Amino acid sequence: MGFARTCSVALVGVEGVVVEVQADLEPGVAAFTLVGLPDKSLIESRDRVRAAVVNSGGEWPQKKLTVGLSPASVPKGGSGFDLAVACAVLAAAERIDPRRIADLMMIGELGLDGRVRPVRGVLPAVLAAADAGYRQVVVPERTAAEAALVPGVSVLGVRSLRQLIAVLTDEPVPEEDESADAGRPDPLLAGLAVPGADAGTGARDRDGEACPDLAEVAGQFTARRALEVAAAGRHHLYLQGPPGAGKTMLAERLPGLLPPLTPQESLEVTAVHSVAGTLPAGQPLLDRAPYCAPHHSASMPSLVGGGSGLPRPGAVSLAHHGVLFLDEAPEFSGRVLDALRQPLESGHVVVARTGGVMRLPARFLLALAANPCPCGRHGTLGEGCGCPPSAVRRYLGRLSGPLMDRVDLRVAVEAVTRSELTGTLTGAEPTATVAARVREARERAAARYAGTPWRCNSEVPGHELRTRWRAAPGALDGAERDMERGLLTARGLDRVLRVAWTVADLAGHDRPDIEDVGQALELRTGIQRGAVLAGGWA
């Protein structure tokens, strides 16, 4: 009788659970039993592992073989357990010393020829291994750079099972030839990406490519300033205007204004995209804010996460620490839009399915864009709007009050004039100039909130802003009067105060004064309260 064990990781959303892979050999009729709540792809590993061991020069044990995945109560799926199962079987058959693999964490899929193929979710899996105290990890060679992002972990990247056996038995490591022909895609990279999963995420086209420049937007100085405030304080934004006014152009340039991700944020974003299969090839770490713009026909699971069995990350998680842009927002399903209310407040989404309940990160900056009516010509010059007032109300009423109450900035985007479009009027600042002011404002906020769990103004509870970081005396008089008139809710007043702190940070003020609050109210309600200039804040 032989027994051996090693370890691997089961992913539940973007969090990993350490799984002990045990192999037991007993005399009896040759059979291979796999237990521990495996899914279909994991059950099929029996045939993959057997063929890989034989084709790697090993001998398959002709005994009763039982492989257990513990804890048995945790659902397990995917092909990333193949490498651990193969090594546990070989150790139980005494081809490998069981003590050499007992403290190893192994992640990887096996081809029938013994090659080790990469799998998605290596980064969160290695993070879970490090948290559990493991310091040696074996991963496919193609994902070794991704695994090496986790500090304090020794990573061994292998190309084949034959190479790993040689390392574990202190034998010469054989050379493995590259299988991909010159000029053709590497077939081993096929498992890292889900076809079409990166559409609209902005993850692939941002690698080494400059973001669109804000200077390309003609006019729209008020909307440009709203973008600056949204980026500086991570405030949610709503743009309403006729078709062709530049709403989509503005939203596409919002990620370029955001500061680079911190090391911790980069790991969180990379982990989500690694699990979702949207991590760009050759880019193990995402250090720029992601941008996700799903179509208005998006379903509930595609937006908040879901799928058969255990849920997968949706658009709100793919936009974590980045921008989620919903163009033609009233065309989205009302249920889908209202599902955003929880992550807008908490920064995460809890998805419950028959396969389990999981918590997915979803701290994003929401940007909404809408036409003023179904035909888009309401309130514009030229051909008048043919929509009856009831149709206009129904169209904009698709954006529920509770959802819009969570949106800090609401800006009317007017049609571009001829002088603005032809360049007669100047003053459009490039993205780099605005991004520099945003970074300075973020640094002021970070210094103010040092030692607290908050980093941006949008994260600070209203109670703290009213008691611990007070505005200038009398600065909130206008906002309080709007609340008494019913123009603002209690949540709306807190959000005006948050925006006022961002305006103050951009202007270099120690605390918001009456002008800062006035500009915050204007951006919240659309009622003129202060002067927004082309070159700076009044």
463-503 tens-digit pLDDT: 998 889 999 999 999 888 888 888 888 888 999 999 999 99
More confident residue, 480 or 526: 480
68-108 tens-digit pLDDT: 999 998 888 889 999 999 999 999 999 999 999 999 999 99
- Residue 190 pLDDT class (50, 70, 90 cuts): low
Pair of tokens at residue 191? 């498992």
- Residue 136 pLDDT class (50, 70, 90 cuts): very high
Q: Are 117 and 109 in contact (CB under 8 A)?
A: yes
Neighbours of 33 (CB within 10 A): 11
Instruction: Report the pLDDT value the prediction gives residue 244, as an integer from 0 to 100.
Output: 86
Side chain identity at 501, as an amino acid letter? W
Strand, coil or helix: what is 390?
A: helix
- pLDDT surpassing 80 at residue 203: no
Looking up tokens 């009050």 gives 401
28-66 tens-digit pLDDT: 999 999 999 898 889 999 999 999 999 999 999 999 999
Q: What is the mean pLDDT of residues 292-313?
A: 84
Looking up tokens 């079987």 gives 89
Q: What is the mean pLDDT of the chain?
A: 87
Q: Are 72 and 38 in contact (CB under 8 A)?
A: no
- pLDDT surpassing 70 at residue 206: no
For every residue of 95-107, DSSP letters joined together read SS-HHHHTT-EE-
Of 274, 262, 279, residue with least CA distance to 206: 279
As a whole number of angstroms, the distance between CA 137 and CA 495 comes to 46
With DSSP H G I counted as helix, E B as strand and the rest as coil, what are the percentages for the chain, rounded to 5? 40, 15, 45
Q: What is the mean pLDDT of residues 121-129?
A: 94
Instruction: Report the pLDDT value the prediction gives residue 353, as an integer from 0 to 100.
Output: 72
415-471 tens-digit pLDDT: 887 777 776 556 678 999 999 999 999 999 999 999 999 999 999 998 998 889 999
Instruction: Report the pLDDT value the prediction gives residue 209, as an integer from 0 to 100.
Output: 55
Q: Are 324 and 365 in contact (CB under 8 A)?
A: yes
Q: Are 250 and 413 in contact (CB under 8 A)?
A: yes
As a whole number of angstroms, the distance between CA 224 and CA 234 comes to 15
Q: What is the mean pLDDT of residues 179-202?
A: 55
User: What are the backbone angles phi and psi of residue 16, rounded to the nearest 5°?
Assistant: -105, 145
Pair of tokens at residue 320? 């974590």
Looking up tokens 């076809």 gives 195
Neighbours of 25 (CB within 10 A): 19
Of 73, 19, 17, 67, residue with least CA distance to 45: 67
Of 310, 322, 325, 324, residue with least CA distance to 359: 310
**Pairing assessment for the beta strands 348-353 and 356-361 based on DSSP bridges:** antiparallel
Of 517, 412, 407, residue with least CA distance to 458: 407
- Residue 278 pLDDT class (50, 70, 90 cuts): confident
Instruction: Report the pLDDT value the prediction gives residue 421, as an integer from 0 to 100.
Output: 75
Alpha helices in 234-375 (DSSP H): 247-252, 254-257, 263-276, 300-304, 315-318, 334-338, 341-346
Q: What is the dihedral of CA 300, 302, 307, 310, to 10 degrees?
A: -100
Side chain identity at 403, as an amino acid letter? L
Instruction: Report the pLDDT value the prediction gives residue 531, as an integer from 0 to 100.
Output: 45
As a whole number of angstroms, the distance between CA 377 and CA 379 comes to 6
Neighbours of 410 (CB within 10 A): 18
Side chain identity at 83, as an amino acid letter? L
**How buried is residue 246: exposed, middle or buried, by Cβ count under 10 Å (0-12/13-18/19+)?**
buried
